[in-house]
Structure 1
Amino acid sequence: MKQTSPLVASALLLAGVLSSCGSKDKAAGESATATVETTETTAPAPASAEPAAVLASEAPATTPAATFDINTVPVTDANLGTFPYLSALKGYQTKYSSDSVGFDFDRAYFFDGKNIIAVEGKMVSRTFRPVDSNKPASELMMQRNYENLIKSLGGVKVHSGIINEEAIKKLGEQEYDKHNGSVSTYRPTDTYVIRQKDKEVWIQVQPDDEKYNLDIVEKAAMPQQASVVGATELKKN
């Protein structure tokens, strides 16, 4: 048998070692490449925003406009007299038939500073004009007279100022105009309420140059008048 010389054997051994190292380096390189690709693929996404429910709970809630609470008004036992309770100023009158309108039952709207309140019951709506147009009362005198009178009867002022247009639009302009009594929306109005044990009276006073408007509603349920026609009634007809 032919023997391999020591020199050739050494060369072969060295080649095997180098080949083995090369394979290891290549494998390490491929492994590193795979690691990089895997890292890029599985890199965590940026932190997402908090769940909508959490954000919604943290957002400040919209506070609805407060509704006037009649229970905050003191109960008075003052003698109010006869409906409509409040007279005209001295030297003032309802000059035209259209200046005084009244119903046993109707609806009127009153502004409490935030909301428009519907008050139903017996009502009267009047426009008072000076008997002598050369001697009208000032708007301050109109306002102060009724304020003093109503407060002496135990009433309170609910609001003073122009009625909010947004509140009117929310209610509906046509509906408001149908039941706004004699007051206009572009002039300041004083709103009052008198609360008694068995009575609730709402009042609006609105100066309008030399004249002024006065609306009064005594809150009450509608008197039911219509009924089923009986046999007796049929015979009459």
Structure 2
Amino acid sequence: MKKTAYQLMILAALASCKSKTNNATQADTAINKAEVSKTSPDAVANNTPVAIAPFDINSIPVTDKDPGKFPYLGLPDKYTFDYHKEASAASINNMDKEYFAVNGKLIPQEGKTFKTHIELPNAEGKFSSMVVSKYYNEAIKALGGVQVNHVAVPKTQIDSVGNNELVDKKYGYSIDYNLLDDIKTYVIRTKTKQIWIQMTLMNEESGKLTVLEKAN
């Protein structure tokens, strides 16, 4: 009887040691996994900004379409340019500047500009960013245009250019700080010129549009 009790005590002690060993091993494994997640190449890569190649205008194919007369773009039905049904001469500047978003980076361009708000009179209903976006996307691509921005512009880009350029001098006319994740930029390239188009559209409010023309 004493022998049996003694054997049971030994077995219990061995089981206890095994349990502690397993727990320690599991704890060490968990710690190791945590350390790997902090220092693994994948984790580092995910937090490292990816370098973006400089924009090359030659990557935009030359269109065989005639874009027509500056500022080249019309309006969706019932919409207006600053409550005018056509582009106003007051909105056109023969030499101006604008920063355009290309792959999340702001690139300055200089040339002849048309800068305006896109509005929908209250009597016609609510401004639809979807309607306006679809209209211009189709119109620009029909002229051979290419969309060159599909990503958000980081706040660091705004800070690097500064409010003096973007706001005070109105060189960021078509950039809305509330819509940095949805800046639409296109380029149309002809044999003799480049046409840069940029817009931001606030649903149920209004939109801002810049068209810039410069020689190749």
Per the alignment, do residues 201 and 132 of structure 1 end up closer, same or farther by CA in structure 2, a change over 3 Å counting? same
- AA matched with 1:217: L
* 5+ residue gaps, structure 2: 1-48
Sequence identity of aligned pairs in percent?
33
The residue aligned with 1:95 is 83
Aligned ranges for residues 4-23 of structure 1 at < 5 Å? none
- AA matched with 2:130: L
2:161 equivalent to 1:166: no
Q: What is the SS of the residue equivalent to 2:187?
A: strand
TM-score (norm 2): 0.66
Per the alignment, do residues 157 and 182 of structure 1 end up closer, same or farther by CA in structure 2, a change over 3 Å counting? closer
Mapped to 2, the partners of 1:174 and 1:65 lie a distance apart of 26
Please state how far the C-alpha of 1:129 moved relative to its aligned partner. 1.2
Per the alignment, do residues 87 and 165 of structure 1 end up closer, same or farther by CA in structure 2, a change over 3 Å counting? same
- AA matched with 1:212: G
Aligned ranges for residues 36-75 of structure 1 at < 5 Å? 64-75=51-62
2:205 equivalent to 1:210: yes
Q: Is the 8 A contact 1:162 1:186 kept in 2?
A: no
The residue aligned with 2:185 is 191
Q: Is the 8 A contact 1:107 1:120 kept in 2?
A: yes
Please state how far the C-alpha of 1:77 moved relative to its aligned partner. 1.9
- AA matched with 2:96: D
Q: Is the 8 A contact 2:104 2:153 kept in 1?
A: no
- AA matched with 1:186: N
Q: Deviations over 1:46-66 (max 9, x none)?
A: xxxxxxxxxxxxxxxx97532
The alignment's C-alpha RMSD in Å is 2.8
Number of residue pairs the alignment of both structures matches: 162
* 5+ residue gaps, structure 1: 1-61, 222-237
Mapped to 2, the partners of 1:130 and 1:63 lie a distance apart of 40
4+ residue stretches of structure 1 with deviation over 4 A?
A: none
Q: Is the 8 A contact 1:122 1:219 kept in 2?
A: yes
